[in-house]
Amino acid sequence: MLRRTTETEQADPTGLRFGIVAARYNAELADALLDACVKSLQGAREVDVVRVPGSFEVPAAVARLARTRRYDCLIALGVLLQGETKHADLIGHAVAWGLTHISITENVPVVFGIVTANNLRQARVRCLGKQYNRGREAGLTAIAMGRLWKTR
């Protein structure tokens, strides 16, 4: 059963357990996402990080973590840059569908922190920016969702 949380509770990771699956591909950007996400979760009971080769591999690792029933929320991180072909679109759709499916079937919130950008400049703004950082946003979303789902 879901319960309401206050805004203060939503920003407080105390007592929550998080699992993060982060792609290594586009390393400079992906590492920055991960660093910002982990920093936003300081004070959490547990933050486990699993690294996978690329964004396509993220859902499989998230599913494995979800099946442990150990985490209050899971976070998926990666960077997809649009190229000359539709490859990034295909991966992006597959990853989004996979993560949504895991969240629904395993009854655990999964935060979509996969940056999908048209070019490197857009990705840098979203991954390396101090004010606007998708890694930090993913962490804060995970706190809110973890609190919302927490039934202990």
**How do residues 9-58 score in pLDDT, each as one tens digit?**
458 999 999 999 999 999 999 999 999 999 999 999 999 999 999 999 99
Known catalytic residues? 87
Neighbours of 42 (CB within 10 A): 10
| CATH number of this structure's domain 12-147 | 3.40.50.960
Q: Is the pLDDT of residue 5 over 60?
A: no
pTM here is 0.90
pLDDT level of residue 60 (50, 70, 90 thresholds): very high
Instruction: State the Cα–Cα distance between residues 3 and 28, nearest whole angstrom.
Output: 38
What pLDDT was estimated at residue 10? 55
Torsion-angle region of residue 62: left (phi > 0), alpha (psi -120 to 50) or beta?
alpha
